[in-house]
Chain A
Amino acid sequence: MHAFKYHRPSSVKAAAALAKGEAKLLAGGQTLVQTMKLRLASPSDIIDLGALQDLAGIQSDGKTVTIGAMTRHADVAHSAEVKKTIPALAALAGMIGDRQVRAMGTIGGSLANNDPAADYPAAVLGMGATVITNKRKLSPDEFFKGMFTTALAADEIITAVSFPAPKRAAYIKFKNPASRFAIVGVFVADFGSSVRVAVTGAGPVVFRQAEMEKALAAKFAPESVANIKVKQDGLNSDLHASAEYRAHLVTVMAKRAVEAALK
Chain B
Amino acid sequence: MGAPLIGARVERKEDYRFLTGAGQYTDDVELPRQSYAVFVRSPHAHAILKKISLDQARKAPGFIAAYTGEDFAAAKLGGLPCGWLITDVNGQPMKEPPHPCLAQGKVRHVGDQVAIVIAETSAQARDAAELVAVDYKVLPAVVDGAKARAKGAPQLHDIAPDNTCYVWAIGDKAVADAAFAKAAHVTKLEFINNRLIPNAMEPRVANGAYSRADDSYTLYVASQNPHVERLLMTAFVMGLPEHKVRVVAGDVGGGFGSKIYLYAEDVAVTWAAKQVNRPVKWTSDRSEAFLTDAHGRDHHTVAELAMDKDGKFLAMRVKTTANVGAYLSTFASCVPTILYATLLAGQYKTPVIHCEVTAVFTNTTPVDAYRGAGRPEATYVVERLVETAAREMKLDPAEIRRRNFITEFPYQTPVALQYDIGDYNATMDAAQQLADVAGFSKRKEESVKKGKLRGLGYAAYIEACGIAPSAVAGSLGARAGLFEAGEVRVHPTGSVTVFTGSHSHGQGHETTFAQVVADRLGIGIDSVDIVHGDTSKVLFGMGTYGSRSIAVGGTAIVKALDKIVAKGKKIAAHLLEAAETDVVYDRGIYKVAGTDKQKTFGEVAFAAYVPHNYPHDKLEPGLNENAFYDPANFTFPAGTYVCEVEVDPETGVVKIDKFTAVDDFGKIINPMIVEGQVHGGLTQGIGQALTESCQYDATGQLLTGSFMDYCLPRATDVPFYQVDTRETPCTHNPLGVKGCGEAGAIGAPAALMNAITDALGVKDMPMPATPQAVWKVLNNKQAA
Give chain B nearest CB distance to A97 CB in angstroms. 11
**Is the pair B287, A38 in contact by a Cβ cutoff of 8 Å?**
yes
A22–B638 Cα gap in the complex (Å)? 61
B187 on interface, CB distance cutoff 8 Å:
no
Interface size class of B (residues with CB under 8 A): 20 to 34
A-B contact pairs, 6 of them (CB 8 A): A1-B123, A239-B703, A240-B709, A245-B775, A249-B651, A252-B650
Give chain B nearest CB distance to A184 CB in angstroms. 10
A177 on interface, CB distance cutoff 8 Å:
yes
- In B565-580, the 8 Å CB interface with A consists of none
B708 on interface, CB distance cutoff 8 Å:
yes
B691 on interface, CB distance cutoff 8 Å:
yes
**Is the pair B770, A177 in contact by a Cβ cutoff of 8 Å?**
yes
* Contact pick for A179, options B651, B707, B770, B772, CB 8 Å: B707
* Contact pick for B708, options A178, A245, A249, CB 8 Å: A178
**Is the pair A174, B703 in contact by a Cβ cutoff of 8 Å?**
no
- In B84-121, the 8 Å CB interface with A consists of none
A241–B775 Cα gap in the complex (Å)? 10
Contact partners of B710 in chain A: CB under 8 A: 178
* Contact pick for A178, options B287, B707, B772, CB 8 Å: B707
Contact partners of B127 in chain A: CB under 8 A: 2
A242–B707 Cα gap in the complex (Å)? 20
A residues in contact (CB < 8 Å) with B: 1-2, 38-39, 174, 177-179, 239-242, 245, 248-249, 252
Closest to B127 in A: A2
A249–B650 Cα gap in the complex (Å)? 8
B771 on interface, CB distance cutoff 8 Å:
yes
A2–B131 Cα gap in the complex (Å)? 14
Give chain B nearest CB distance to A237 CB in angstroms. 11
B695 on interface, CB distance cutoff 8 Å:
yes
Contact partners of A249 in chain B: CB under 8 A: 651
Give chain A nearest CB distance to B279 CB in angstroms. 24
A239–B127 Cα gap in the complex (Å)? 32
**Is the pair B709, A239 in contact by a Cβ cutoff of 8 Å?**
yes
Contact partners of B418 in chain A: CB under 8 A: none
Contacts A177-B770, A178-B708, A252-B651 aside, 18 further interface pairs with beta carbons under 8 A come to A1-B123, A2-B127, A39-B126, A177-B691, A177-B711, A178-B704, A178-B707, A178-B709, A179-B707, A239-B695, A240-B709, A240-B772, A241-B772, A242-B772, A245-B772, A245-B775, A249-B651, A252-B650
Contact partners of A239 in chain B: CB under 8 A: 695, 703-704, 709
Give chain A nearest CB distance to B164 CB in angstroms. 30
**Is the pair B691, A179 in contact by a Cβ cutoff of 8 Å?**
no
Give chain B nearest CB distance to A38 CB in angstroms. 7
Give chain A nearest CB distance to B284 CB in angstroms. 14
B residues in contact (CB < 8 Å) with A: 123, 126-127, 130, 287, 650-651, 691, 695, 703-704, 707-711, 770-772, 775-776
Contact partners of A177 in chain B: CB under 8 A: 691, 711, 770-771
The DSSP consensus for interface residues of chain A is loop
Contact partners of A245 in chain B: CB under 8 A: 772, 775-776
Give chain B nearest CB distance to A191 CB in angstroms. 28
Contact partners of B707 in chain A: CB under 8 A: 178-179
Closest to B712 in A: A178
Give chain A nearest CB distance to B713 CB in angstroms. 9
Q: Which of B126, B770, B771 has the most CB of A within 10 A?
A: B771
Contact partners of B711 in chain A: CB under 8 A: 177-178
Give chain A nearest CB distance to B315 CB in angstroms. 39
A177–B708 Cα gap in the complex (Å)? 9
A248–B652 Cα gap in the complex (Å)? 11
* Contact pick for B770, options A39, A240, A252, CB 8 Å: A240
Contact partners of B123 in chain A: CB under 8 A: 1
Contact partners of A248 in chain B: CB under 8 A: 775
Top 10 A-B pairs, shortest CB-CB distance: A178-B711, A179-B708, A177-B711, A252-B650, A245-B772, A178-B709, A241-B772, A177-B691, A239-B703, A252-B651
Give chain B nearest CB distance to A201 CB in angstroms. 13
Contact partners of A252 in chain B: CB under 8 A: 650-651
Contact partners of B126 in chain A: CB under 8 A: 39
A119–B776 Cα gap in the complex (Å)? 26
A177–B653 Cα gap in the complex (Å)? 10
Closest to A248 in B: B775
Give chain B nearest CB distance to A41 CB in angstroms. 15
A178–B712 Cα gap in the complex (Å)? 7
Closest to B652 in A: A245
Contact partners of A240 in chain B: CB under 8 A: 709, 770, 772
Contact partners of A38 in chain B: CB under 8 A: 287
A1–B711 Cα gap in the complex (Å)? 25
Closest to B123 in A: A1
Contact partners of A174 in chain B: CB under 8 A: 651, 771
A59–B166 Cα gap in the complex (Å)? 70
Closest to A2 in B: B127
Closest to A240 in B: B772
Closest to A238 in B: B709
Closest to B711 in A: A178
Contact partners of B776 in chain A: CB under 8 A: 245
Give chain B nearest CB distance to A119 CB in angstroms. 16
Give chain B nearest CB distance to A216 CB in angstroms. 19
Q: Which of B126, B287, B651, B710 has the most CB of A within 10 A?
A: B651
A38–B708 Cα gap in the complex (Å)? 14
Q: Which of A178, A239, A242, A245 has the most CB of B within 10 A?
A: A178
Contact A179:B287 (CB < 8 A) given known A239-B703, A241-B772: no
A18–B467 Cα gap in the complex (Å)? 65
Give chain A nearest CB distance to B702 CB in angstroms. 11
Contact partners of A2 in chain B: CB under 8 A: 127
